[in-house]
Amino acid sequence: MAGYTLINDTNGSPALILRVDLPREIYNQGRLNVNYFLILLISITIIFNSISIFLIEKQVLFRILRLNKDVTQIKKSKNPSEQVVVEGKDEIASLSISINDMLETLKNYRNHLEEMVEIRTLQLNKSLQEKEALLREIHHRVKNNMQIVSSLLLLQTQNIKDQKYINIFNDSNNRILSIALIHEKLYQSKNFESVDVKDYIHELASNLLNSYGRTGNIKLEIDVENITLDINNSVPCGLIINELLMNSLKYAFPNGRQGTIKITFKQKDNNMLQLTISDDGVGFPKDLDIRNTESLGLRLVSNLAESQLHDEIILNRDSGTEFQINFRQKK
Distance CA 269, CA 254 (A): 38
pLDDT at 124 (0 to 100): 86
- In this predicted structure, the answer to whether residue 136 has a pLDDT above a threshold of 70 is no
Are 15 and 26 contained in the same domain?
Answer: yes
CATH of the domain at 293: 3.30.565.10
Exposed / middle / buried, residue 100 (Cβ in 10 Å: 0-12, 13-18, 19+)? middle
pLDDT at 264 (0 to 100): 92
pLDDT at 206 (0 to 100): 85
Residue 84: count of CB within 10 angstroms of its CB: 19
Work out the percent of the chain whose per-residue pLDDT is above 70.
Answer: 93
Question: Which of these three, 155, 189, 223, is where a domain ends?
Answer: 189
Confidence of residue 32 (pLDDT cuts 50, 70, 90): confident
Question: Which of these three, 189, 205, 228, is where a domain ends?
Answer: 189
Are 303 and 206 contained in the same domain?
Answer: yes
Confidence of residue 43 (pLDDT cuts 50, 70, 90): very high
Confidence of residue 302 (pLDDT cuts 50, 70, 90): confident
Distance CA 302, CA 294 (A): 12
Whole-number mean pLDDT of the chain? 81
pLDDT at 316 (0 to 100): 84
Residue 144: count of CB within 10 angstroms of its CB: 14
Are 56 and 106 contained in the same domain?
Answer: no
- In this predicted structure, the answer to whether residue 204 has a pLDDT above a threshold of 70 is yes
Q: Of 104-113, 136-145, 208-217, which gets the smallest average pLDDT? A: 136-145
Are 207 and 181 contained in the same domain?
Answer: no
pLDDT at 40 (0 to 100): 92
Hey, what amino acid is at 279?
D
Give the C-alpha distances (Å, rounded to integers) separating 197 from 224, 226, 302, 313.
8, 7, 21, 19
pLDDT at 300 (0 to 100): 79
Are 265 and 285 contained in the same domain?
Answer: yes
Confidence of residue 192 (pLDDT cuts 50, 70, 90): low
pTM to 2 decimal places: 0.56
Are 50 and 119 contained in the same domain?
Answer: no
Are 168 and 206 contained in the same domain?
Answer: no
Distance CA 150, CA 326 (A): 31
Residue, of 92 and 281, whose pLDDT is higher: 281
Are 216 and 328 contained in the same domain?
Answer: yes
Confidence of residue 139 (pLDDT cuts 50, 70, 90): low
Confidence of residue 243 (pLDDT cuts 50, 70, 90): confident
Domain hosting 38: range is 2-76
Contact 216, 179 (CB under 8 A): no
pLDDT at 191 (0 to 100): 65
In SS3 terms, the chain reads as: CEEEEEEECCCCCEEEEEEEECCCHHHHHHHHHHHHHHHHHHHHHHHHHHHHHHHHHHHHHHHHHHHHHHHHHHHHHCCCCCCCCCCCCCHHHHHHHHHHHHHHHHHHHHHHHHHHHHHHHHHHHHHHHHHHHHHHHHHHHHHHHHHHHHHHHHHHHCCCCCHHHHHHHHHHHHHHHHHHHHHHHHHHCCCCCEEEHHHHHHHHHHHHHHHCCCCCCEEEEEEECCCEEEHHHHHHHHHHHHHHHHHHHHHHCHHHCCEEEEEEEEECCCCEEEEEEEECCCCCCCCCCCCCCCCHHHHHHHHHHHHHCCCCEEEECCCCEEEEEEEECCC
Q: Biggest alpha carbon distance in the chain?
A: 185
142-154: pLDDT as tens digits: 777 777 877 877 7
251-267: pLDDT as tens digits: 888 887 888 999 999 88
Hey, what amino acid is at 206?
S
**Structural domain count, the chain:** 3
Residue, of 154 and 219, whose pLDDT is higher: 219
